[in-house]
Amino acid sequence: MRKSCQVFFRNSKCARFRGHISFWDPHRGAHTADPISSVPDETDSGVTLLVQKTRKSDGPKSMDQTAKKVSVAKASLEYIGSGAALGVGTGTTVNVLIDLLPSIRNRIRSIVSSSGATAERLEKHGFEVSTLNSVGDLDVYIDGADEATKHLHLIKGGGGALTREKVLAGAARKFVCIIDESKLVGMLGKFPLPIEVLPMAQSFVARQIIKLRGQPVWRENFVTDNGNHILDVHNLTISNPLEMETRLNQLPGVISVGIFSHRPADVLLVADDRGVRKMMR
C-alpha cells in the first residue's frame, strides 16, 4: 500500500488522507473519506469539504435502542453484591445504569468513577464518589464498549475516558461489559480506535500509526480528564488485538490504547430483541 504523504490532521474540522478530505460526520459518528458519494461544499475559510450525502434509512428497528440499554443495565445489577466496592465507566449505556443504582444503594460500600462526567451524574443521585487510591481493589467494574468480540476483547474510548477505564478494569476482580448487539463484531477495528497521547507527541505518534497503515485523526477541541489529546485511528486492521495493543502501547508518547485485550471483560452482557444474553471467558 502506498504510504500517505498528506497531512494527518489540520487545525480545522477536517483532515487529509491519501488525497481526500477526512471529516467528522455527526450522523455516522466517525470520520469519513468517501469521494464517490460526496459532494463539495465551500466553507467560510475557503476549504472545500466533502459532505456525505444523506442515505436512506434501513427502516425501523424491532426494539428501541434505549429499551436495550435499560434491559442490559438492569441485568448488570445482579453482579453488584452486598458491600461492593464498585467501579463505574462512562457512556450512554452506563448512564442508564447510574440512574438505576439508587435502587440498590444499600449494597454499595464505595463507588469509583472513570470520568468527571460520570462522577457528576453519580453525585446528582446522592452518591459520594471515592478515589481508587482510597478504595483499593474493586469488587466489580461495569462499563460499556464501542466494539466487542466473542473473545470479550473490546474497543473503548469513544467518550475519551479510555485511560481511567483501563485502570479501573485492571483494578477490578470482575469486569462486566454491557452492550447491545450492534456492538458485537467479528473483528475489532471498524470503530475508529481511540489512542490517548501526550499533546507534544501527537504528531510523532500519528506518523508511526501511518506506518502501520492506520489513518489517525486528531479529535479536535477535546481534552481528556488527564489533560491529553485523542487520536482516532481509522482503517487499522486489528486481527491480533493482543499484539496490536502491545505494539501501540510501546510507542513513546502514548498514554493508553482503546484496545482492551490484555484485560478483557470477564462477562459480556449483550442486549438484543430477545432479551439479554451472557458471554463469559
- Catalytic-labelled residue, pool 147, 165, 196, 245: 165
Residues in the chain: 281
User: How is residue 165 written as a grid cell?
Assistant: 477505564
165 labelled catalytic: yes
The neighbour count for residue 38, using CB atoms within 10 Å, is 18
First CA to last CA distance, the chain: 36
Q: How many other CB atoms are there within 10 angstroms of residue 225's CB atom? A: 16
Rounded Cα gap, residues 226 and 90, in angstroms? 15
What's the order of all strands across the beta sheet hosting 267-272? 129-130, 108-113, 84-88, 138-143, 172-180, 267-272, 275-280
Helix, strand, coil shares of the chain, percent, nearest 5, are: 30, 30, 40
Q: Is 9 helix (H, G, I), strand (E, B) or coil?
A: coil
214: left (phi over 0), alpha (psi -120 to 50) or beta: beta
As annotated, the active-site residues are: 165
